[in-house]
Structures are given as C-alpha cells and as structure tokens.
C-alpha cells in the first residue's frame, strides 16, 4: 500500500467521521489471521452444521500477523495525519474478535453504541467504562476486515456524521464524561443519520472518529465474518479548546460540533 490522505479525504473524515483504507494489509496476513482464529473456534470450518451461534467472541490476539495488520509505515503516516505525530500509541494487539456466522438466531449485540475509552470505578466492567469529550484513552476506532465482507455478511453499520452529535452530548459532562451505557441510552435522541455499511475486501480498514456511532447486525450471507475493532490509543487527551496549538482532524471535528 502506498497511500496518504489528501485534503478532500481529510475533510471527509472531519465531516463524515470516517475514511476507508483499501489494501491496508495483505490478503496473506488476513489468511494467516483466519487460520489462527479457526483453531480457537469451537466449530468446524468445513461444516456449517457446526456453526450454532450467530456470534462467537474470542480473546485478544498479539501474534505477528495481527500486529502487522495494523502497523506499517503507510498506516502510521495516516495516523499522524489524523491525530498528530507523537499523539498515539501503536497497537500491540487487535482486541477481541466478534466472529459472526450465518444463523437464523438473532445476535444480542446489535444496539447503537460508541466504544468507551477509559475505565470507571470497576475496570473489569466494560459497560461502566467511560467516554469524555476529550476522548481520553482513544484516538480512533478501527474496523479491520480479515475476510471479504459484502452487504449480506453482517457489515458493521456506521452512522455517518454521528460523531458530531456525540460530541455535543458529551460536552456538558466534562472530564468525567458518560459511561458506555449512559451514552448508549441517549443515542435514541440524536438526529437520524445516513447508514454506511462497512463492506470491503479482506485487508480493508475503516478509520473512524472515536465518537462514531456504530452497530452490529445479523449475518445473512454464507461465510463467517472475521473483523476486529481495536482502538488506536491516545497518549494524552485531545485539545478541543486551544486554537493556538492547532487542531488535528480528530480535534477539528469535535471543535466543529461545539461551535
């Protein structure tokens, strides 16, 4: 991949809240990631009769193909463009995998939400983790496709421009922010936004503003979907109030929302 965001794509990111990067990593890496994950799944790759559940979650993975998929000079250059140099921490794992299977059962995790950035009083309770308007702990949400994903293969739903609404909700809550559940409960009040399906070939990454509202959906295709959604971590909280320091695209989006 040889890719750098031009001014139009950066403006799209600020306004719409995401940018799609095709061929962010090789098909060979995606194949190796799938090989490792299938070994840990309680079902048989070649026997769809064993695919009993609509979604199976596997733990964090830090083997080389996982780390390589979200770390290369081109991606790092794009992170610098969106977040600023020395402002982010390279991924050393890709988080948990919600692997989605074709199933007549409805998954129980399809609600609209924003991923949290820092722990609440109980760090082991993810539903109580928090999000604040400075996006403490989280620079980007990344949707990383390790299998080909069509509109039938449970693509993540991205609500275009919803990061603007979320910034406005979070601002009155100050540094304490809101918990994952508190924020999720308020998302029914935001304006209706255009739905974008996070489809693409294996090797595609959607780089999303950390406040992006998104949701899972049921799988109506034929082959399992392999995707991770790791955070890109922030070294410090974002600057949203000091224009003299200059705003990065992630910060500009929040500043725009609060004008």
Q: Which residue from 175, 225, 217 is spatially nearest to 200, judged by alpha carbons? A: 225
Topology classification of domain 7-258? Jelly Rolls (2.60.120)
Q: What is the pLDDT of residue 199?
A: 98
Q: What is the pLDDT of residue 3?
A: 67
Pairing of strands 178-179, 205-208: unpaired
Question: 218-251 burial, b for 16+ CB within 10 Å, e for fewer?
Answer: ebebebbbbbbbbbbebeeebbbeeeeeebbbbb
Q: What is the pLDDT of residue 36?
A: 97
Q: And the tokens for 221?
A: 């295709």
Domain ranges (residues) in the chain: 7-258
Q: Which pTM does this prediction carry?
A: 0.95
Query: What is the separation, in whole angstroms, between the first and last Cα of the chain?
Result: 37
- Reduced to 3 states (helix: H, G, I; strand: E, B; else coil), residue 99 is strand
All residues at 6 or more sequence positions from 80 whose CB lies less than 8 Å from its CB, including other chains: none
Q: What integer is the mean pLDDT of 146-164?
A: 97
pLDDT in tens, 56-104: 999 889 999 999 999 999 999 999 999 999 899 999 999 889 999 998 8
Q: Residues of the chain with pLDDT > 70: what percent?
A: 99
Q: What integer is the mean pLDDT of 39-50?
A: 95
pLDDT in tens, 2-27: 468 999 999 999 999 999 999 999 99
């Amino acid at each position: 991949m040889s890719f750098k965001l031009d001014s139009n794509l950066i403006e799209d990111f600020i306004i719409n809240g995401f940018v799609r990067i095709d061929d962010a990593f090789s098909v060979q890496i995606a194949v190796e990631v799938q090989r490792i994950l299938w070994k840990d799944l309680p079902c048989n790759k070649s026997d769809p009769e064993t695919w009993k559940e609509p979604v199976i979650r596997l733990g964090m993975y830090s083997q080389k193909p996982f780390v390589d998929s979200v770390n290369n000079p081109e991606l790092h250059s794009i992170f610098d463009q969106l977040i600023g140099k020395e402002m982010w921490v390279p991924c050393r794992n890709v988080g948990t995998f919600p692997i989605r299977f074709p199933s007549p059962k409805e998954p129980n995790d399809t609600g609209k939400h924003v991923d949290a950035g820092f722990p609440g009083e109980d760090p082991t309770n993810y539903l109580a983790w928090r999000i604040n308007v400075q996006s403490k702990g989280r620079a980007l949400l990344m949707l990383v496709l390790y299998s080909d994903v069509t509109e039938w293969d449970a693509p993540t739903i991205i609500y275009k421009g919803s990061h603007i609404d979320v910034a406005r909700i979070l601002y009155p809550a100050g540094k304490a922010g809101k918990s994952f559940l508190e924020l999720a409960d308020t998302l029914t009040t935001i304006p209706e936004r255009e739905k974008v399906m996070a489809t693409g070939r294996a090797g595609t990454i959607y780089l999303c503003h950390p406040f992006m509202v998104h949701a899972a959906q049921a799988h109506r295709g034929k082959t399992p979907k392999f995707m991770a959604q790791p955070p890109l971590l922030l070294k410090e909280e974002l600057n949203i109030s000091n224009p003299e320091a200059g705003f990065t695209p992630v910060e500009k989006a929040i500043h725009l929302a609060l004008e």
